[in-house]
Amino acid sequence: GDSVTQMEGPVTLSEEAFLTINCTYTATGYPSLFWYVQYPGEGLQLLLKATKADDKGSNKGFEATYRKETTSFHLEKGSVQVSDSAVYFCALGGTSYGKLTFGQGTILTVHP
Amino acid sequence: DAGVIQSPRHEVTEMGQEVTLRCKPISGHDYLFWYRQTMMRGLELLIYFNNNVPIDDSGMPEDRFSAKMPNASFSTLKIQPSEPRDSAVYFCASTSGLSQETQYFGPGTRLLVL
């Protein structure tokens, strides 16, 4: 079945550091890929997505490229801010329309 | 758009009591999802509906849990009787065919069963 594996956290960085959160997936067919972010005390919200191979999703300085050859969708940001502290979830969709398979989440803490 | 609305935002109850969580999806969305989030188990899909019909309830932990969607604008998740291990944050999310599978989450209901 479909599955998503994220790098284990928590991840702790200093402000302006470079961020990478790894995500790999297993799926049949050609899934869409997503990154969601959850700020403290809130629900998940879409950060970015990509619907086909080689697409790059981007938002708020974050980027991720859909790599079919390596079945990966790693999240990157060149310079993190304290306000980026949150839990980040990688997800895939496509096998059952509308249903998403989520990774376990990665906690990011950014210190001033 | 008001987004997905959940109520109550916080619920504290005693073991054995019935708990009902409510969700109003985004107008026009035809898929609705119920999730549970805990530190130990992460984010779990409990059940989801399409056009008010349950499609997959394999994530419902046991018979104490039930969910209904009587119309396109309202859904409930009920736990009867509640147990301390049900303490978690419960999220509702919705989507539609036009959203390309992007799910929109509500703010969640934080449930504490004493």
Please give the pLDDT value at position A30: 82
Least confident of A2-6, A7-11, B70-74: A7-11
| Residues 6+ positions from A41 with CB-CB distance below 8 Å | none
Please give the pLDDT value at position B28: 92
Please give the pLDDT value at position A66: 96
Please give the pLDDT value at position B79: 97
Please give the pLDDT value at position B100: 65
Question: Which pLDDT tens digit goes with each residue over A72-82?
Answer: 999 999 999 99
**Of residues A44, A94, A105, nearest to B105 (C-beta):** A44
Tokens of A78: 């060149």
Nearest-CA distance B16 → chain A (Å): 27
Which residue from A minimizes the CA distance to B110? A41
Record: contact A100-B31, CB cut-off 8 A: no
Record: contact A102-B48, CB cut-off 8 A: no
The Cβ of residue B2 has, within 10 Å, a number of other Cβ atoms equal to 7
Residue A43's region, left for phi above 0, alpha for psi from -120 to 50, else beta, is beta
The mean predicted confidence, pLDDT, of chain A is: 93
**Of residues B45, B91, B100, nearest to A51 (C-beta):** B100
**Of residues B4, B93, B101, nearest to A32 (C-beta):** B101
Please give the pLDDT value at position A38: 96
Please give the pLDDT value at position A28: 83
Record: contact A97-B33, CB cut-off 8 A: no
- Is the pLDDT at A15 greater than 80? The verdict is yes
**Strand spans (E) along B16-83:** 19-24, 31-38, 42-50, 53-56, 65-71, 74-79
| Residues 6+ positions from B1 with CB-CB distance below 8 Å | B26, B27
Question: Which pLDDT tens digit goes with each residue over A46-61?
Answer: 999 999 999 999 999 9
Please give the pLDDT value at position B1: 65
Nearest-CA distance A80 → chain B (Å): 24
Which residue from A minimizes the CA distance to B94? A98
Per CB-CB distance under 8 Å, the chain A contacts of B93 are 43-44
Please give the pLDDT value at position B62: 87
Please give the pLDDT value at position A95: 66
Please give the pLDDT value at position B98: 67
Record: contact B108-A93, CB cut-off 8 A: no
The pLDDT averaged over each successive group of 10 residues in chain B (114 residues) is 92 97 95 93 92 93 94 97 96 83 92 98
pLDDT-derived band of residue A98, with 50, 70 and 90 as boundaries? confident
**Of residues B55, B102, B105, nearest to A43 (C-beta):** B105
Per CB-CB distance under 8 Å, the chain A contacts of B106 are 43
- Is the pLDDT at A104 greater than 80? The verdict is yes
- Is the pLDDT at A20 greater than 70? The verdict is yes
Please give the pLDDT value at position A9: 81
Please give the pLDDT value at position A46: 95
Which helix (H) or strand (E) is A4 found in, with range?
A: strand A3-6
